[in-house]
Amino acid sequence: MPSQIAVALSGVTKHYRLYASIGDRIKEMVHPFRRTYHHEFWALKGVELQIERGECLGILGRNGAGKSTLLKLIAGIIKPTAGEVRVAGRIEALFQLGAGFNPDQTGRENVEMQCLIADMPRAKIAGKIDEVEAFAEVGAYFDQPVRTYSSGMFMRVAFAAAILTEPDILIVDEALAVGDIKFQHKCFGRILDFRRRGSTVLLVTHSPDLVSLHCTRGIVLDEGCVVIDGKPDQAIHHYQRILYGGPGDPAVVGVEPAAAAASGDEPLSDAAGENETARLAGIQLGSGEDRAHLRRGYNANEFRYGSGEATVLDCVAICGGQVDATQVGQGSRITFLMQIRFNADISNPSYGIVLKTIDEVRLYGTMTEMLGQSFPAVRAGDEVLVQIDVGVPLPGGTVFIDLGVARYVGDELLALDIRKSVLQFTVEFTPRWVGFCDLAATFEELARVAGIADDAADTTAAPVPRQMPVS
Partner 1 sequence: MKNSVGAAAPPPRLRVARDVRLAWRLAQLDLRRRYAHSLGGVAWYVLSPLLTIATYYVVFGIGLKVAMPSTGPFFPFFISGMLPWLVFADAVTASTDVLTRNRDLISNAVFPLHLLPLSRLVSAFAAHLAVLTAVVILFCASGRAPGFHVIGVVYYMVGLGVLAAGFSFLLSAVNVVFSDTREILGFLLPLLFFTVPIIWPLDLVPAQWHWLINVNPMAYIVEGYRQALLYDHPISDNPLNAVAFWLIAGCIFVAGRGVFKRLQSELAELM
Q: Which residues bind partner 1 (CB under 8 A)?
A: 16, 22, 25, 72-79, 85-93, 95-96, 98-105, 109, 112-113, 116-119, 167-168, 171
Q: Is 238 helix (H, G, I), strand (E, B) or coil?
A: helix
CB of 198 to partner 1, least distance (A): 16
How many whole angstroms separate alpha carbon 66 and alpha carbon 78? 13
Calculated CA dihedral for residues 264, 265, 268, 272, nearest 10 degrees: 30
How many whole angstroms separate alpha carbon 342 and alpha carbon 325? 27
Identify the bridge partners of residue 412 per DSSP, sorted by sequence position.
409
CB of 101 to partner 1, least distance (A): 6
Query: 7 or 65: whose CB is closer to partner 1?
Result: 7
CB 351 within 8 A of CB 368: yes
CB of 224 to partner 1, least distance (A): 16
Q: Residue 144 is inside which H or E element, if any?
A: none
Query: 84 or 270: whose CB is closer to partner 1?
Result: 84
Query: 90 or 296: whose CB is closer to partner 1?
Result: 90
CB of 65 to partner 1, least distance (A): 18
Q: Is 297 helix (H, G, I), strand (E, B) or coil?
A: coil
How many whole angstroms separate alpha carbon 243 and alpha carbon 250? 17
CB of 114 to partner 1, least distance (A): 9
How many whole angstroms separate alpha carbon 114 and alpha carbon 120? 9
CB of 31 to partner 1, least distance (A): 16
Query: 98 or 264: whose CB is closer to partner 1?
Result: 98
Query: 46 or 98: whose CB is closer to partner 1?
Result: 98
Query: 6 or 226: whose CB is closer to partner 1?
Result: 6
CB of 4 to partner 1, least distance (A): 14
How many whole angstroms separate alpha carbon 38 and alpha carbon 459? 94
CB of 83 to partner 1, least distance (A): 11
Query: 25 or 186: whose CB is closer to partner 1?
Result: 25
Q: Order of strands across the sheet with 217-222?
A: 91-94, 169-173, 200-204, 56-61, 217-222, 225-230
Label residue 52 exposed, middle or buried (CB < 10 Å: 0-12, 13-18, 19+).
Answer: middle
Which residues 6+ apart lie within 8 Å of 325 measured at CB?
Answer: 297, 317, 318, 319, 334, 425
Query: 118 or 414: whose CB is closer to partner 1?
Result: 118
CB of 107 to partner 1, least distance (A): 13
For residue 325, give Cα distances in angstroms to 316, 391, 414, 424.
8, 14, 30, 9
Query: 117 or 294: whose CB is closer to partner 1?
Result: 117
How many whole angstroms separate alpha carbon 88 and alpha carbon 91? 9
How many whole angstroms separate alpha carbon 131 and alpha carbon 118? 16
Query: 171 or 271: whose CB is closer to partner 1?
Result: 171
CB of 71 to partner 1, least distance (A): 9
Calculated CA dihedral for residues 325, 327, 333, 337, nearest 10 degrees: 20
The angle subtended at Cα 234 by Cα 59 and Cα 386, nearest 5°, is 115
